[in-house]
Amino acid sequence: MVLYLAKFTKLDIQALIDALVAWERIKPGQVGKRIVFEKYGIRSSVKDYVFTAVIYKLERKRGVIDKIIEASGVDLSKLDDYSKALLRLVVYEKIFGRKESRLYRSLIKHGPVVLERLSRGSMKASDIKALIERLARTSYKPSSLIEELEFKYSAPFDLIKRIISLIGREEAEKFFESAEKLYYISFRVNTLKTTVEEAIVKLREEGYIVEKSKLVPFVLKLKGPFNYAGSRVFREGLVIPQDEASALASLLLNPQPGELIVDLCAAPGGKTTHIAELMENRGKIIAIELYEDRARRLRQVLEKTGVSIAQVLVMDGKNAPQTLGEDIADRVLLDPPCTSTGAVVKSPEAKWRFSSEKLEELVKEQRSLMIAAIRILKPSGYMLYTTCSVLREENEDNVIWLLSEYRECIELIDLKYSDLSSGLIPGTLRTWPHIHETSGFFYAMFHKKSSCHS
């Protein structure tokens, strides 16, 4: 494999550590990684592909890796992000990679000097070297049933229990196994600029093997790696990175030309741009995003893809009724912050952030946003609620709660789509990574029968 044949310089090791930190700080992590690799001049190079594979594999094992580090006597909470990144890389390569690889030797050799530079002297190179040498002597064997399960499934025990409770042990095994696989890279064809057939021809001319998604006909699937910087098709906005389950949301929303649509949690923009395509760039989209940096990238995506009907507002979606008014939108898309437990393939680190406390916080946030979505929706309008979580608490339980809160003025619409799994309550839909080879998503459609008075 090229991973074990390549030579790695100090600057390469610096780029890898920097990218791992950016993966954590910038969401989605893939964007942060690309920004860093662009800065170091290695984007779309062989080293990009090598390092991307390392990052994905490390993030799948990150919780176990952290336990190994702390078992050696290192307190991760007292380290800066760059030190954590280097130590995780060393342990990953030693325990899960190949400790005789050139990457491992380069981490040992160059890591201390590089880290002293990145962490701006918060740790001396000699101290960093001592830490690395301690970890290099570390071995690991699970010491309890819980640790054995976490090691096997590469997930925290609380999440393992919840998934088993939801779908049973056999299906749970398949679910967690799917997180270890890299499926196709998916792109949605931008129909404002090209057709599916033309995009396929152009991508094949660039040397890619392309096939149409069986789930969503205007999504194309490619075997990686993909040269983002070198692809004219991507640079010109003819295709947008988006998996099938995400692209399906806008289809189910079914926006019509001339309507007013509110995308309540819009960044990074895949669904916003898709809604504009389905509307033929006629009507108006209000795209709401809480954070300015994400809103800035959203505007760039809108410009690149030729969307002219979207207005980006930087604000908290929960405040939309006060800012926009009530009963104003023909349709609302709500894809709120969630645990991302369905996105275990493309965002493997999400499972290690999971906790019962965080889940409770997210459910409160989701319910507040659901109320805002219903309030800004016109009577006779439709609101699609969707998440990239597989947990009942964020999906069916929220649907049941909203229906109980607004039973007089809203109803659940029976969603149907071929090849999708039914949700845990009638009328809702789900995709599963181990069944559909895409992200795990949940979909529920609400119809507003009359104004809601809270």
Nearest to 346 by CA among 17, 52, 107: 52
**Of 265, 338, 388, 452, catalytic:** 388
> For residues 15, 16, 21 and 25, what is the CA-based torsion angle, rounded to 10 degrees?
80
**How many angstroms separate the CA atoms of 79 and 118, rounded?**
13
- Give yes or no: 265 in active site: no
Q: Which residues are within 8 A (CB) of 106 and not within 5 positions of it... i.e. 6 or more apart?
A: 7, 8, 9, 12, 13
Determine contact, residues 156/351, Cβ cutoff 8 Å: yes
The two three-digit tokens of residue 220, written as one number: 């194309």
**How many angstroms separate the CA atoms of 343 and 349, rounded?**
9
**How many angstroms separate the CA atoms of 327 and 332, rounded?**
11
The two three-digit tokens of residue 268, written as one number: 């990074």
The two three-digit tokens of residue 343, written as one number: 């996105």
Residues serving a catalytic function are 388
